[in-house]
Amino acid sequence: MNMVSQENQKTGQQSTEQTAYVAPYVEIEATDSGYVLYAEMPGVNREGIEITVEDGNLVIAGRRQRLAVSGEPLHRETRQLDFRRVYELDPSIDANKISARIEQGILTVNLPKAENLNPRRIALD
Amino acid sequence: MNIIRYQNQSRSDLAQAFDRFAALRDEMDRVFDSSYGPVFRTPGSFSRWAPALDVYQDKDQFTVVAELPGLKKEDIELSLQNGVLTISGERKQEKKSEEGYRNERFFGRFQRSVTLPTSVDSSKVKATYEDGILKVVLPKAEEAKPKKIEVSVG
C-alpha cells in the first residue's frame, strides 16, 4: 500500500528557529477512496487551524487558544506549544478535494484519491 | 511537588518503569517530530494513556486542566472524595475500516487523580469541556481561604 507518504524529515529542525512546535499525535486510516488523517490538537479551535498544500507537502498547523485559568501553576504537564506536522502527499491524492474539520481538539483531514485513479474499464470500439 | 498521583498503582514496578520510559520516549518523539513510526506507541503495549494535567491555584480556587481531545462529554467521569479529584473515562475508537495504517493515538480507559492541597467546597465545583480541554474549577472551602487577621493592640 502506498502511504499518505513519508513524513518530511526536514521538520525535525524546526525547533532551532524561533518558533517551537510540537507534533500532534496522528492516526491515519486508509479507505477505498483515499485516506483520513486524525490529529490530536487539544486547545485548538476552528480559527486556529491552518492547512496548506505546497510543493506536494501537506502542512497541518494548529494554534492553541490561550488557556483561561487564574492563579499560579502548582503542577504542569501540558505544553502550551502550537502544533505542526508536515506530510509528503501521495501523488494519488487530489489536493483540490482535501477537506477538514475540528471537533473537541481532533482535527480530521479527508484526503481523497483523484477519481481517475480508481480502476476503470475501457471499452473497445 | 507531588500532588499528582499516577494511576494503576496496582501494577508492578517493572510495568511502571516501562510507563515512565515510554512517556519519556513519547516526549522525545514529540520534541523532535520523530518520523520513525510507532515503535512502542501501539495501544496495548506498556505505555498507557494518561492525559496531561495541570493544576493552578489562586486565593479562592483551584483549577485543574486536562488535555482530553476527542471525547464526548458523557464519556468523562469526575469524582471528588476526601480531597482527591479523579478524572476518568474512556476514549472510544470509531473504526471505519480495519486498515488503520498508522496509529499513534491511544484509546481505551484512562484515569488520573489529583490530591488537592486544601479542602474545597464540593457543592461549587464546576467543569467545562471545550476544544478537547477539560477544565475543573474547585472553589476553596471558606476555612481554607487565606484570611487577614487584625492585630488588636490592647
E strands, A1-125, are: 21-22, 26-31, 34-40, 49-54, 57-62, 72-75, 82-88, 99-103, 106-112
Q: Encode burial over A66-95: b for 16+ CB neighbours within 10 A, e otherwise.
A: eeebeeeebeebbeeebbbbbbbbbebbbe
Indicate the number of domains in chain B: 1
* Domain of residue B14, residue span: 4-92+104-144
What is the arithmetic mean of pLDDT over B22-46? 52
Q: What is the pLDDT of residues A75-102, one digit of tens each?
A: 999 888 999 999 999 888 999 999 999 9
Give contacts of B 98-127 with A, CB under 8 A. Answer: 99-106, 114, 117
**Interface ipTM above 0.90:** no
How much is the pLDDT for A3? Answer: 46
How much is the pLDDT for B48? Answer: 65
User: Domain containing B132 — which CATH number?
Assistant: 2.60.40.790
Q: What is the mean pLDDT of chain B?
A: 78
How far away is chain B from the Cα of A78, in angstroms, using its nearest Cα?
5
Q: Is the pLDDT of residue B122 over 60?
A: yes
Continuous H helices in A10-57: none
In a domain, B52, yes or no: yes
Task: Quote the cell numbers at residue B44.
Answer: 496495548
Q: Is the pLDDT of residue B147 over 60?
A: yes
Domain boundaries, chain A: 9-66+80-114
Classify residue B89 as left (phi > 0), alpha (psi -120 to 50) or beta: left
How much is the pLDDT for A2? Answer: 43
SS3 B15: helix
How far away is chain A from the Cα of B117, in angstroms, using its nearest Cα?
10
Tell me which of B125 and A13 has the higher pLDDT. Answer: B125
On whether any CB of chain B is under 8 Å from the CB of A2, the answer is no
| A30-33 contacts, C-beta under 8 A, 24 or more apart | A30/A1, A30/B97, A30/B99, A30/B100, A30/B101, A31/B96, A31/B97, A31/B99, A32/B97, A33/A112, A33/A113, A33/A118
Determine whether the interchain pair A22/B104 forms a contact, defined as Cβ–Cβ distance below 8 Å. Answer: no
How much is the pLDDT for B43? Answer: 43
In a domain, B113, yes or no: yes
How much is the pLDDT for B114? Answer: 93
Q: Encode burial over B79-111: b for 16+ CB neighbours within 10 A, e otherwise.
A: eeeeeebebebebeeeeeeeebebbbbbbeebb
How much is the pLDDT for A59? Answer: 95
What is the arithmetic mean of pLDDT over B17-46? 54
In a domain, B79, yes or no: yes
pLDDT class of B120 with cuts at 50, 70, 90 = very high
How much is the pLDDT for B103? Answer: 79
CB-CB neighbors (< 8 A) of B101 in chain A: 1, 3-4, 28-30, 35
Q: Under CATH, to which class is A9-66+80-114 assigned?
A: mainly beta
In a domain, B134, yes or no: yes
What is the arithmetic mean of pLDDT over B143-154? 82
Residues of chain A with pLDDT under 50: 1-3, 5, 9-17
